[in-house]
Amino acid sequence: MEQQLTTTTNEASTNTEEWITGSEVLLRGLLEEGVECVFGYPGGNVLYIYDAMVHQPDFKHILTRHEQGAIHAADGYARSTGKVGVCIATSGPGATNLVTGIATAHLDSVPLVVITGNVPTTVMGTDAFQEADIISITMPITKHSYMVRDANDLPRIIHEAFHIANSGRKGPVLIDIPKDVSNQRIAYRPADTIQLRGYHGAPQPNPAEIDALLEAIAESRKPVIIAGGGVVYANASQELIEFVHATRIPVATTLLGLGGFPSDDELSLGMLGHHGVYTANMAVQNADLIISIGSRFDDRVTMKLDGFAPQAKRIAHIDIDPAEISKNVKADLACIGDIKDVLAYANTKAQATESGAWLEQLQGYQAQHPLRYTDSDTAIKPQYVLEMISETTQGKAIITTDVGQHQMWTALFYRFKHPRSLITSGGLGTMGFGFPAAIGAQVGNPDRLVVSINGDGGMQMCAQEMAICAIHQIPVKIVVLNNQVLGMVKQQQELMYERRYSQIDLAGSPDFVKLAEAYGIKGLKATTKADAAKVWQEALDTPGPVLIEFVIPTEENVYPMVLAGTTLDQMILGYED
């Protein structure tokens, strides 16, 4: 939605005004916003910006090998740190190569400032070389967009862009800078106070709404919390833990909510939804009160909508964005505001529910159908690999995933204990996301172990970014679960298309160890279960980046699974069905 934007700037002028170019204003503004690193790829219409970097030693830029790698790296940086990620690309194809990454960030509410070059203003609208209307192209997938026509506006625009991206419901903001504007010389005046008329960040929580929720909790006997990515983005994990322990309400998490509530807590039910665990899905289907906290009730969580939570007498929704309330599932109770603030108030009054019998019922579900798989003494099962990685890292690593079967195995079998420890593309499901996102996460968290979990399909979409891991010695541990097939597509064709397999064979993929070595990265490979632990430990003991390929069975599927058009309690468990 278009917003009327105004700011006040410092109008003081002296005889010693500093005259600098728009490009220098941009770099200075980014540094003033606390930007630690920018990921980008140069081209003709951003060359003034890149030329200005030569004279700015404090400005850190990492040259990726593809614009999509740049924006996914910025995204991984943002998700793992809670700060705004920044990337730069040139006009035309450089800008359009960012579109998938912008959409990824938009659907998952990730704060990014995306800077694109454009052709000079004098030739705009003439179909000039490498001209594309990136503002119009990305308008549905950005929180706000700026076309800069005067370099004097840049200090204000940069300041506003960071505020918009990282306040309220977070999201990507685009700044498009024509080439002549980036070379325009101005008397520099830093931005001052922000006043964005028509734009509101987080609304203040309404105590009456929260009190109504607490009353509903007191009346409930079978309550369940659905904790989503909003808990993580609001830095509200501790408040959620306090609320859960005070009320004794069990917690199911969405994919993006993993880590927002510790998986080893006695009240953790695990992930719910399309590939959710039995206990979590059955809890939702039998609850009398559903409390969604920072989850948007997307279709992978609810599955068949008219069969979702049929026993619930009330559904409550806590969210920062009023537009999400009753969008997919009608909310009987709504608490609008920053989740951290809502829970902080709720914790001043929260009391234990009479849910002892309910918790016993859930324990029965867990005993009846625990999460399990059929292991092998010889073949490397992917579930085993994820359990091994979880145990050796003690759940303390930052894990990034690509999209596919390995993503779901990671969600199910890695024990996430801390917020911002899972970096994955949820809403858009972007293949190629996982590895460059790990690079951004490692740059933002240089003292943390970062493990990138990939399939053999997604790994090939951004494998070229191994070059920057080697050059900058970014010590990501790159795991490739190689089943020589597009696994999730195969699984759906097997179960829903009567085994009519079409265009899923990846047997012609490269030797990943040799590919890593070609980029200057150590490569390791395990083909038997006996090799797996040894190879993984060698990777952990090796400084710098390492690629580890685990050859897994082609026929292995992800279970549990709820088929499209069915309800959460109609699960295919795999080992029984």
Structure tokens at 397: 């690593």
Question: Of 130, 366, 492, 570, which is the active-site residue?
Answer: 130
Question: Of 24, 53, 67, 512, which is the active-site residue?
Answer: 67
**Is 330 part of the annotated catalytic residue set?**
no
Residue 13, burial from CB neighbour count under 10 angstroms (0-12, 13-18, 19+): exposed
CB 87 within 8 A of CB 112: yes
Region of 488 (left: φ > 0; alpha: ψ -120 to 50; beta: rest) is: alpha
Question: Of 147, 388, 459, 488, which is the active-site residue?
Answer: 488
Question: Of 143, 170, 179, 477, which is the active-site residue?
Answer: 179
**Is 529 part of the annotated catalytic residue set?**
no
Structure tokens at 350: 């929260």
Residue partners of 126: CB distance under 8 A and separation at least 6: none
CB 398 within 8 A of CB 80: yes
**Is 271 part of the annotated catalytic residue set?**
no
CB 454 within 8 A of CB 434: yes
Structure tokens at 176: 């498009």
**Is 484 part of the annotated catalytic residue set?**
no
Task: State the distance between the two ends of the chain, measured CA to CA, in whole angstroms.
Answer: 48
Angle between helix axes 382-393 and 405-413 (nearest 10 degrees) is 50
Region of 424 (left: φ > 0; alpha: ψ -120 to 50; beta: rest) is: beta
Residue partners of 7: CB distance under 8 A and separation at least 6: 156, 159, 160, 191, 192, 193, 194, 195, 196
**Is 56 part of the annotated catalytic residue set?**
no
For the chain, give percent helix, strand, coil, nearest 5: 40, 20, 40
d(CA 563, CA 415): 25
d(CA 6, CA 247): 45
d(CA 519, CA 515): 7
Question: Of 3, 17, 129, 363, which is the active-site residue?
Answer: 129
d(CA 556, CA 483): 9
Q: Annotated active-site positions, please?
A: 67, 129-130, 179, 488
